[in-house]
Structure 1
Amino acid sequence: MTVQDPQLFTDAFRAALTDAEFAALLKERDFSLQFVLTGDAGTAFLLDSDGVHDGAPRPASLRLEVRPEALHLVLLGRLGVTRAIVDRGLVAKGPVSGVRQLADLLPPLGRAYAQLAPAPSGA
């Protein structure tokens, strides 16, 4: 799987939901994230405490329009959210408080993603 494959992200996010603390955090905050992968990937999915859902079955707390390469780097901790926004690799739509909540949500997502992500070239 490459970072262009949306299945990589959905598999990682499903794996993150097996972390009881992460799932509880989403549920307690009644928080959901809609990821819209831009470019050739051209897909969307919603992450909430009930799972990962195709498309946008309901409005999300925060909508992230993101290039797959940028999401890959953000999840691995190699690119900060602010820098991704400035570089236009990520567009966040929703309240500022929702963007702030990413600080709590990205570490478990990143850990799950790192287990599945392809190794960097030349490694």
Structure 2
Amino acid sequence: MTVQDPQLFIEAFRAAFSDADFAALLKEREFSIQFVVTGDAPTAFLLDSDGVHDGAPHPASLRLEVRPETLHLILLGQLGVTQAVVARGLVVKGPVPQVRRLADHLPAMGRAYAGLALAPASA
């Protein structure tokens, strides 16, 4: 699985739910994020307190339209959200206070993503 495959992000975000603090924070704040990953294999999925869902089963607190390479760099901590927006690799739709909440969730999502994306390929 490569960075270009949106399934990698979906699996990583599902793995993030093993972090009890992450799951509790999503539920406590009633926060949800719809990711629309653009590129060769565009896909959309929703992350909320119940897990990761295909498409958009209900409106999200925040909608992120992002290129896979940009999301990869953000999750690894190599690119800030503001820088990604300025570089036009990320389009954020939603109220500004919700954008600020995104920063609270990035560490857990990044750890889960790094565990999958940077894991050595199996033989």
Under a length normalisation based on structure 2, what TM-score does the superposition of the two structures give?
Answer: 0.94
| SS in structure 1 of the partner of residue 41 of structure 2 | coil
Higher mean displacement: 18-27 or 110-119:
110-119
| SS in structure 1 of the partner of residue 84 of structure 2 | helix
Residue 12 of structure 2 aligns with which residue?
A: 12
* 1:66 and 1:90 in contact (8 A); partners too: yes
Q: How far is the alpha carbon of 1:18 from its aligned partner?
A: 1.2
Distance in 2 (CA, whole Å) between partners of 1:103 and 1:47 is 15
Counting only pairs closer than 5 Å after superposition, residues 14-29 of structure 1 correspond to structure 2 as 14-29=14-29
Distance in 2 (CA, whole Å) between partners of 1:82 and 1:62 is 15
Question: After the TM superposition, which parts of structure 1 deviate over 3 Å for at least 4 consecutive aligned residues?
Answer: none
Distance in 1 (CA, whole Å) between partners of 2:109 and 2:86 is 22
Identical pairs, percent: 79
Letter matched to residue 116 of structure 1: L
Letter matched to residue 100 of structure 1: R
Letter matched to residue 113 of structure 1: Y
Letter matched to residue 93 of structure 2: K
Gaps of 5+ in 2: none
RMSD: 0.9
* 1:2 and 1:118 in contact (8 A); partners too: no
* 1:3 and 1:118 in contact (8 A); partners too: no
| SS in structure 2 of the partner of residue 97 of structure 1 | helix
Counting only pairs closer than 5 Å after superposition, residues 1-123 of structure 1 correspond to structure 2 as 1-118=1-118
The number of aligned residues is: 119
Letter matched to residue 26 of structure 1: L
Distance in 2 (CA, whole Å) between partners of 1:49 and 1:18 is 12
* 1:41 and 1:68 in contact (8 A); partners too: no
Letter matched to residue 42 of structure 2: G
Letter matched to residue 12 of structure 2: A
Gaps of 5+ in 1: none
Letter matched to residue 95 of structure 1: P
Under a length normalisation based on structure 1, what TM-score does the superposition of the two structures give?
Answer: 0.94
* 1:10 and 1:52 in contact (8 A); partners too: yes
Distance in 2 (CA, whole Å) between partners of 1:118 and 1:106 is 17
